[in-house]
Amino acid sequence: SISDHAGELDWMCGPVAGVGAYVLQTCVGDPNVAANWKYADTATKSSGTLTGLAPGPTWVRVCAKGADAQPGAWSDPAEEIVR
């Protein structure tokens, strides 16, 4: 969702049992092009704030990594406007 601060987006996903980390990627172009997705953050909680983002439309997706460090499937992308 839109953050209270410029250049930031707040994010939240449903918590997943046994997860060691959540990996986030952002995309400012066509989300159907794999090369447009860039690493954004790794978090140990199922919510947080992405910072340092350029203003404009931004797509975000998240995947959970279990204790074995293997990533799960990517979530459906969500689009928001960074101010």
Blockwise average pLDDT, block size 10, the chain, 83 residues: 90 91 97 98 96 97 88 94 94
Do residues 29 and 35 make contact, with C-beta atoms less than 8 angstroms apart?
A: no
Largest CA distance in the chain: 37
What global pTM score does this model have?
A: 0.91
**36, 3 Cβ separation under 8 angstroms:** no
Q: Which residue has the tokens 């987006």?
A: 9
